[in-house]
Amino acid sequence: MSIKEISGGVTAAAGFMAAGVHAGVKKNADKKDMALIFCEGEAVCGGVFTQNKFAAAPVNWSRGVNAGGSARAIIVNSGNANACTGEQGAADAAKMAETAGAALGIPAGQVLVCSTGVIGVQMPMDVILSGIDACAAALSHDGAADAAQAIMTTDLCSKECAVQYEYQGKTITVGGMAKGSGMIHPNMATMLCFITTDLAIEPAALQQAVSEAADATFNMVTVDGDTSTNDTMLVLAGGAAANGPVQAGGEGYAEFLAALTLVAGRLAKLMAYDGEGATKLLECTVSGAADIKDARLAAKAVVGSSLVKAAFFGEDANWGRIICAAGYSGAQFDPANVNLTLQSAAGAIQLMANGGGLAFDEEVAAKILKEREIAILLDLGAGDAEAVAWGCDLSHEYVSINADYRS
């Protein structure tokens, strides 16, 4: 199967419209703060949500909608998380769905709701409700970029991706957008991800694919080790491609999962690249693991280590920190079989072979570590499983951003 990347985001797939507006949740009038995604026909949905016990009100609402397996719209605001806001917060999330549903001519139970921003502050509902109407009025087949900008908080850049592939003689499109820069350590962070497709797929199959894709991508990215109250990944499948509906494990499922995982992976990588204060993108590939669980444990431990992150910020080839993180990750392997290489656009350098450190040229290592994107290649020598995790370095700027976030 050939998957090709195309330009676009959540409106790349047939049958979808989107909008992004400045409603007034954010003080800066130049920054959009509300987004709406709408499927023109019937659609099924799938989603995964934060594991934080303080799940935000919109997360609880959207979990309920997602359990029904169908939805046609997603309304999102940035600037306020509507988390830890009690009964009023729950009522506000429901009101957002009701208002969006009325504006779109669909039931409130077909509207997914998401919020991101400051925790513990009641929603400015007069602003939110007028913003919903403004979004509905601005819906467009060309609205993906505006929507992607509207969900940003501390993000420095918007995040979009779209791909196409052929199935049953039909062109299938999968497109998405995401936000996330800090408070990123999913078990599903303040990360939001919305993906659309024109594939016809059964609800159970879509839910399974979303969970599998999230485990391989968003649950393998970490910026700062913090899991937010609002993490959400939602996928809408509108079926405009008119293919025979895909079932879990049946014909067409593997192809869709591959396309969905590719889009999710691109977006996850962009989150790490845009990590708060980040100067380096770290991509750790663990190979030679006994199973996928061990590979994921080791890879995520490496990119999540504060000491590893600090070493890369300092452009210091302190490989002992990498090995240490792998050692406490919980992955099973024989240290005597481990190999380690660092690689970037400036070249590659092996630092460990068969569990022992190698003599290496510090000047060559320094050139490799000056690059913006650095690959950590860790071979555990214990099997054939492989996994990739993404992270970033830990800079002075990260502390500055988060020290005065509310101001």
- The reply to whether 190 and 312 lie within a common domain is no
- The reply to whether 287 and 365 lie within a common domain is yes
The domain boundary residue, chosen from 225, 243, 273? 273
Q: Which two tokens stand for residue 296?
A: 């994921």
CA distances from 280 to 178, 371, 396 (A): 20, 7, 13
- The reply to whether 297 and 345 lie within a common domain is yes
- The reply to whether 70 and 171 lie within a common domain is yes
- Answer positive or negative: Cα dihedral of 302, 303, 306, 311: positive
Phi then psi for residue 49, to 5 deg, are -135, 165
Residues 6+ positions from 387 with CB-CB distance below 8 Å: 216, 220, 285, 286, 289, 292, 295, 296, 298, 299
Return the HEC string of the chain. Answer: CCCEEECCCCCCCCCEEEEEECCCCCCCCCCCCEEEEEECCCCEEEEEECCCCCCCHHHHHHHHHHHCCECCEEEEEEEECCCCCHHHHHHHHHHHHHHHHHHHCCCHHHEEEEEEEECCCCCCHHHHHHHHHHHHHHCECCCHHHHHHHCCCCCCCCEEEEEEEEECCEEEEEEEEEECCCCCCCCCCCCEEEEEECCCECHHHHHHHHHHHHHHCHHHECCCCCCCCCCEEEEEECCCCCCCCECCCCCCHHHHHHHHHHHHHHHHHHHHHCCCCCCCEEEEEEEEECCHHHHHHHHHHHHHCHHHHHHHHCCCCCHHHHHHHHHHCCCCCCHHHCEEEEEECCEEEEEEECCEECCCCHHHHHHHHCCCEEEEEEECCCCCEEEEEEEECCCHHHHHHHHCCCC
170-181 burial by CB neighbour count: b if 16+ within 10 A, else e?
bebbbbbbbbbb
Q: Which residue ranges in the chain fall short of pLDDT 70?
A: 181-190, 224-227, 275-277, 398, 400-407
- The reply to whether 24 and 172 lie within a common domain is yes
The domain boundary residue, chosen from 242, 273, 304? 273
- The reply to whether 9 and 148 lie within a common domain is yes
- Checking 324-327 for CB contacts under 8 A at 24+ apart, the result is 325/298, 325/301, 326/286, 326/298, 326/301, 326/302, 326/378, 326/380
Q: Which domain holds residue 77?
A: 4-273
CA–CA gap between residue 382 and residue 385 (Å, rounded): 9
Cβ 47 vs Cβ 61: under 8 Å: no
Measured from the Cβ of residue 130, the count of other Cβ atoms closer than 10 Å reads 15
43-83: pLDDT as tens digits: 999 999 988 889 999 999 999 999 999 999 999 999 999 99
pLDDT number for residue 406: 53
What CATH number does residue 128 fall under? Answer: 3.60.70.12
- The reply to whether 238 and 125 lie within a common domain is yes
The domain boundary residue, chosen from 273, 290, 312? 273
CA–CA gap between residue 335 and residue 290 (Å, rounded): 13
Total domains in the chain come to: 2
CA angle (79, 99, 202) in 5-degree steps? 90
CA–CA gap between residue 357 and residue 320 (Å, rounded): 9
What CATH number does residue 323 fall under? Answer: 3.10.20.340
- The reply to whether 253 and 297 lie within a common domain is no
pLDDT number for residue 187: 45
- The reply to whether 97 and 185 lie within a common domain is yes
- The reply to whether 164 and 302 lie within a common domain is no
Half-sphere exposure of 94 (CA within 13 A, CB side): 7
Residues 6+ positions from 330 with CB-CB distance below 8 Å: 294, 297, 301
- What are residue 185's DSSP bridge partners? none
- The reply to whether 330 and 250 lie within a common domain is no
Q: Which two tokens stand for residue 200?
A: 């016809």
CA–CA gap between residue 143 and residue 77 (Å, rounded): 16
- The reply to whether 291 and 237 lie within a common domain is no
pLDDT number for residue 107: 98
pTM: 0.89
Among candidate residues 190, 217, 222, 341, the one labeled active-site is: 190
CA distances from 164 to 212, 261, 338 (A): 19, 13, 38
pLDDT number for residue 142: 97
190 part of the active site: yes
pLDDT number for residue 272: 81
